[in-house]
Structure 1
Amino acid sequence: MLSIPEIASQIVNKALSETNDDSSRTVFVAGSKSVGKSTLLHSFLEKNEAPRETLVLEYSFGRKSVNKQSIDKSICHVWEYGGKLDVLKNTLTSVPVRGKYYCCVMVDLSKIKNIWNILETCIGAVKETYDGTGIEPELIIIGGKYDVFKNYDNEIKKIICTTMRSVSLATNSHLIFYSSKEPQLVKRARDMFYNIGFGAGFHAKEKNTNFAKPLVIPKGSDSWESIGVPQSSMDMIKARHLSRIAPEAEVTGDVTTARPKLTHPEPVLDALASAKYDELRSMESFDFSIGDYLKALD
């Protein structure tokens, strides 16, 4: 039995059969919960409706004419993941890739104790999924909620920016800070998505490595000397970071399985979704892919 992401992929693949890789881009976004992924993507895709919570995986796309005289259009396929990060790898394997591929890891800068876990889990899932496959996604690390982070103590900001820059350099990733509440940063992030979706790729008019301001660092433009730390592996960066910022304590004990939150505008749809959820839970033949889906919902 196919999982919901696999069914979605089949539908999208059918629609994509009329396009080619030369005129396509694929963007996948994952990361911290409630950091503003949907808000940023809605801004990029010029959607007017208010974003709602992304439970597991959502697909959208944008089109742009190649030139004024041509009816040919380039298309950017956008995937947003909102499920549990420990099953992110299983979702990545179901996403069809068309053209240049960008994986964006969005980190909540306001929750400093969770930053390392988000970076390590998401980047690790991308590397594990695509190493040796011939698919080479370009990584972009986005630090969200900068409006909160900028008011933190300077020493904390310096530690976090050192970690973010180190991870970006070690993984050959782009790095950009963002806030939905600061128009300049909204425009910068929207322009970045436009460039990766329809332009020549990640582009920054102004580079910034000063921790007192929002970071903007294209891959290949930073150095260990500039960061002020010795050349480091991910394990070395992790040890240095966790020695200064202790991770959030894990919650232990019994975990009660919860149904998905009500997200539909009509109550009847919520009732149907709840019934289907219970049906999947009670199936005698419990498919592993369904288990992954329900795990991501919880």
Structure 2
Amino acid sequence: MSIPELASELVKKTLSEQNDRSMSTIIIAGSKNVGKSSLINAFLDKNDNPRETLVMEYSFGRKSSQKPGIDKMICHVWEYGGKIEMLSDVLLSIPIRGSFFFCIMLDLSKIKKIWNTLESCIQALQNNFSNADSALEIIIVGGYYDQFKNFDTEVKKIVCTTLRSVALLCNAHLLFYSKKDTHLARKAKDLFYGMGFGNGVLLKEKNTNYLKPIMIPRGSDNWENIGVSPCNLDEIKKRYTAKIASDPIIKSDYSQDIQRTHPEPILDTLASLKYEELRCMESFEPSIKDYLFCVNK
């Protein structure tokens, strides 16, 4: 039985035994290698060594419930590690049960990649869910704060102002995180525990000072405090990219690298085949709809 089929059977079994009041769904997507798997493992108290998430990983947690009439609480966790521009197809295919939380995790140490990742995630949400959907809570987590805190003061101000603006616009929670900082790691774990088994996102602390780790519950910020006039997503993008240019998406053209300088023609042929194989591997992306088709049966 394949991994998608196993996940499908597991989800079907748990869904047949539970109702929506006893379940929650967390989807986490964002930057590559930012620590999504590590954060999930910490939340679920797993000691496994994280491995690269190629397309989609499913995990779940189960806890005894204190709510009347509910024996167990089940949290479904979906981690997306594929191409960010295909996220819309993923959201169409994932079964949402109970309370729904979407976590966008950004690598603060790669400021030129922040906007493209953030914008892609927000567009995927807008394409699939209504802005009036009160069941959805959005959490923006800035990872690698241990590196970001050493950046130039002006850069930190620009990044923090941008993320605060987007969080306010999307009615999202905003939290900076580093697994190397015990306090921040505990806050992130507690946040996930509240989503999975508690009463939702609980951020008791608040900090808007960009010289310290940002922590802002949704609904507690405003444009005046951020220091900018009310604006839409395009205006926020223009302000950010005017000061921090985003990295262009570059695709390698292996055909340009082929140099026929081998003394034996057979080596040229083998090199061409290898370059073609690499080119195909780079462009290959399994269909998300096919990959998760069994989940929606």
Counterpart secondary structure, 2:243: coil
* Aligned residues: CA RMSD: 2.9
TM-score scaled by length of structure 2: 0.83
* Deviation of the 1:289 alpha carbon: 4.0
Q: Report the counterpart of residue 139 of structure 2 in structure 1.
A: 140
TM-score scaled by length of structure 1: 0.82
Structure 2 unaligned residues grouped into runs of 5+: 255-278
Structure 1 unaligned residues grouped into runs of 5+: 261-276, 282-286, 294-298
Q: Report the counterpart of residue 202 of structure 1 in structure 2.
A: 201
Superposed, 1:79-90 pairs within 5 Å as 79-90=78-89
d(CA) in 2 for partners of 1:38 and 1:184?
Answer: 19
Q: Report the counterpart of residue 180 of structure 1 in structure 2.
A: 179
Larger radius of gyration: 2
* Deviation of the 1:7 alpha carbon: 7.6
d(CA) in 2 for partners of 1:291 and 1:15?
Answer: 20
The one-letter code matched in structure 2 to 1:258 is: M
d(CA) in 2 for partners of 1:288 and 1:39?
Answer: 23
Q: Is the 8 A contact 2:90 2:288 kept in 1?
A: no
* Deviation of the 1:249 alpha carbon: 2.7
Counterpart secondary structure, 1:52: coil
Q: Report the counterpart of residue 66 of structure 2 in structure 1.
A: 67
Q: Is the 8 A contact 2:4 2:291 kept in 1?
A: no
d(CA) in 1 for partners of 2:121 and 2:196?
Answer: 21
d(CA) in 2 for partners of 1:44 and 1:292?
Answer: 24
* Deviation of the 1:135 alpha carbon: 8.0
The one-letter code matched in structure 2 to 1:202 is: V
User: Number of matched residues?
Assistant: 268
Counterpart secondary structure, 1:243: helix
Q: Report the counterpart of residue 125 of structure 1 in structure 2.
A: 124
The one-letter code matched in structure 1 to 2:203 is: A
Q: Is the 8 A contact 1:13 1:96 kept in 2?
A: no
Q: Report the counterpart of residue 33 of structure 2 in structure 1.
A: 34
Cα distance per residue 1:10-46 (max 9 Å; x no partner):
6523432111100111000000000000000000000
Q: Report the counterpart of residue 262 of structure 2 in structure 1.
A: none
The one-letter code matched in structure 2 to 1:162 is: T
d(CA) in 1 for partners of 2:201 and 2:67?
Answer: 23
Counterpart secondary structure, 2:37: helix
Q: Is the 8 A contact 2:153 2:211 kept in 1?
A: yes
Cα distance per residue 1:87-111 (max 9 Å; x no partner):
1111111111110100000000000
Whether 1:116 aligns to 2:139 is no
